[in-house]
Amino acid sequence: AYKSLALTLAACAASEVLIALSPLWFLPVAWAIAGTAFTGFFVLGHDCGHRSFHTSKNVEDVVGNVLMSPLIYPYEAWRIKHAQHHAKTNMLVEDTAWHPVVVEEMEEMSPFVRAATKTILGTPIKFLASILHWIKWHFDLSLYKKSEKKKVAISIACNAAFAAVAWPLLVAKTGWFGLVKFWLMPWLGFHFWLSAFTLVHHTSPHIPFKAKEDWDPVQAQLGGTVHCKYPKWVEILCFDINVHVPHHLSPRIPHYRLRTAYKAICEKFGEYVNEAEFSWKLFWMLVKEPHVYNKEKNYVSFKEQELS
């Protein structure tokens, strides 16, 4: 775990140097690399939240808060809501990661909200939709139990402390464009990957979301999770978060044991495993098709729903 932490720190530092040295035309490449490196912070914080980083929960909570604060992501808020995702994976409405739009939800939306929903979930903007999830779930203390609020508030305070120190310092030293250049664009890159991983890991035309009364935990965790292959450099910087099937069967497996566990799962339960490869074809399928919940087809697009 500490080697992974060192790798993430080195990768983030190197990517910031690359941004500083890059001419304008090369900045998009440097931002893509930095955004992927920044995602390493989240993945290691993710291990802390699942108690697979260290033997001490206190150490994990400190490390998790420190790692997620540069992303302005409240660690404790995420940890609590993410536990619900694991408990109710692919359960319609109840899964806090994402779920397809329900017809009843659409009917209750105002015309503006309905149009915004279609724009966000029916275009490539969908691959930044984790920003809306971040806003909705992680800063509202009313969403948490009384026993949880103190830790959530501490995580939010850690985020605020980072922003209060790092952002003015960046502006003072590099100007307002420096804040965009060195923090905002890598942060958006991180949200691209967070959105991509969330969608790809549990979404395919043949993988159903099910209502509570029809939901089966084994089917959801094993048959409802996708192992996706990404470019090797992405898998290295994101610590095999794509090897997702064993993580859902046993969330306390540390990232450096996931491939070994996946191999064993494939040997025994290979017929139930879903595999994919990240590509433009997969990207556009996720943009154009799985929009609205349909009990018979699993999903229909917004266009199909309008025609029905």
pLDDT confidence of 185, banded at 50, 70, 90? very high
Percentage of the residues of the chain whose pLDDT score is greater than 90: 82
pLDDT averaged over the chain? 94
The pLDDT, as a whole number, for residue 208 is 86
Query: Alpha-carbon distance 242 to 75, whole Å?
Result: 21
Give the highest mean pLDDT range of 62-66, 210-214, 292-296: 62-66
Ramachandran region, residue 90 (left: φ > 0; alpha: ψ -120 to 50; beta: rest): left
Query: Alpha-carbon distance 133 to 122, whole Å?
Result: 16
Q: Is beta strand 292-294 parallel, antiparallel or unpaired with respect to 274-277? A: unpaired
The two structure tokens encoding residue 158: 């850690």
Rounded mean pLDDT, 61-81 = 97
The pLDDT, as a whole number, for residue 96 is 85
The pLDDT, as a whole number, for residue 1 is 82
pLDDT tens readout for residues 97-143: 888 899 888 889 999 999 999 999 999 999 999 999 999 999 999 99
The pLDDT, as a whole number, for residue 174 is 96
pLDDT confidence of 170, banded at 50, 70, 90? very high
What DSSP element (H or E) covers 226?
A: strand 226-229
The two structure tokens encoding residue 144: 């948490």
Query: Alpha-carbon distance 5 to 240, whole Å?
Result: 14
Q: Is the pLDDT of residue 305 over 90?
A: no
pLDDT confidence of 158, banded at 50, 70, 90? very high
Query: Alpha-carbon distance 48 to 60, whole Å?
Result: 5
Query: Alpha-carbon distance 89 to 92, whole Å?
Result: 9
The pLDDT, as a whole number, for residue 34 is 98
pLDDT tens readout for residues 219-235: 889 988 999 999 999 99
Query: Alpha-carbon distance 4 to 7, whole Å?
Result: 5
8 A C-beta contact, residue 228 and residue 278 = yes
What DSSP element (H or E) covers 80?
A: helix 75-87
Q: Is the pLDDT of residue 308 over 80?
A: no
Query: Alpha-carbon distance 261 to 247, whole Å?
Result: 9
Nearest to 43 by CA among 35, 181, 200: 35
The pLDDT, as a whole number, for residue 306 is 83
The pLDDT, as a whole number, for residue 48 is 97
pLDDT tens readout for residues 221-274: 998 899 999 999 999 999 999 999 999 999 999 999 999 999 999 999 999 999
**Beta pairing partners, 229:** 277
Query: Alpha-carbon distance 179 to 51, whole Å?
Result: 33
